[in-house]
Structure 1
Amino acid sequence: MQSIFYPDDRIIERYDIKGCMVGRWTNLPPEDHHHIIVVLKDLNFEGQTISLDSQKNWFLRQVELDTNFLKTLNVLDYSLLLAFQKLHLDEKHSSKNLLNRVARKTTLNLNPSLHNLRLLLDVPNDLHILDGPDYRYFVGIIDFFTVYGFSKKVEYLWKSLVYPDRTFSTVNPVEYAQRLCRWVNLHTH
């Protein structure tokens, strides 16, 4: 998480998004425990959006490229790690000024043969940072080592019986990738 959430001194909230419902709520600690860093989940994010304006299409395409690559590896259970912080007034101005950005190819996605051209900010962690009109978003895909093998197929069958009308994490890699992309599309403006 630290490699994505850097610099983290002004981060307001952190989320681990899988695009499903079962087990995707985090209770907040009591107010007297405000020093505890909490990573929220999908259901905690409901009613909020990722507002990116000019970077929306880049972000949607990048998530599509990354999840398509992970699908070819037959993996699931990965998460979109997301955090945000309010932009200061001077950051809002500079993020809208294209002269302050450097154009270059990135390989943020996990498959280096696929590229998604983006104008990058001049910040310490520009590969994982997207500026919207009011917030700076830190994003990355994590935990992509779970292969959809026999045990995950059995888990899928069991959860299908227990949660027949709800979405849960363990689904085949094609459905997993599509569902995460659908979540990102629905929550990004």
Structure 2
Amino acid sequence: MPQKTVNLDQIQPNLSINLVYLAKYKDGTSLNYLQSIRSGTYEIVSKENPEDNLFAQSYNNNLPHATKSLAQNLEEYKFDIILRPPSSREDAKPYLEKIKEIRPDIKEISDCINRTKGSKSGVGNTFKQYRKSLSYSCESTPNGSIKLLIVDDVFNSGRTVSSILDLLINESFSLDGVTVACPLLIEDSSV
């Protein structure tokens, strides 16, 4: 199982996350579709029938296997809370749903994290700009230390994850471990 530790000292001293992923961008897998759509480097041939697109077809054909693989790669970890960052795209949703299917004991708080309407995800924004667009809408926060799982479609600069963690820490979450699970790792921030 590919994984790595990423330090987020800019958020909180000694804060690091465990990143679990399936593939790296440009490794020639169908998962590259996720970044191609996000970055606009790959046009959908037909928005009415995106399944006619061979790249999309390849990704969609592999999706059941990819969601199951990511979920199984997390079986050895304990989590109290799971969330998916707010997004106008639903690419991370099938991964989150498969994890919840296998691990129904994890409480989901995705609906508690909101992004200002009209704001964009971390792409093209600074940390401060993206962080400012986020808010927490639930009335309570968990008691005690929690192990958090964030499920996203790609991990690039860490701006989205850093912004969410900063928000949760400011909402008095006591984090006892953070894991980010995503199908695609992008190590070249210029992508």
- The structure with the larger Rg is 1
Task: Give the structure with the larger helix fraction.
Answer: 1
Task: Give the structure with the larger strand fraction.
Answer: 2
When normalised by structure 2's length, the TM-score is: 0.27
When normalised by structure 1's length, the TM-score is: 0.27
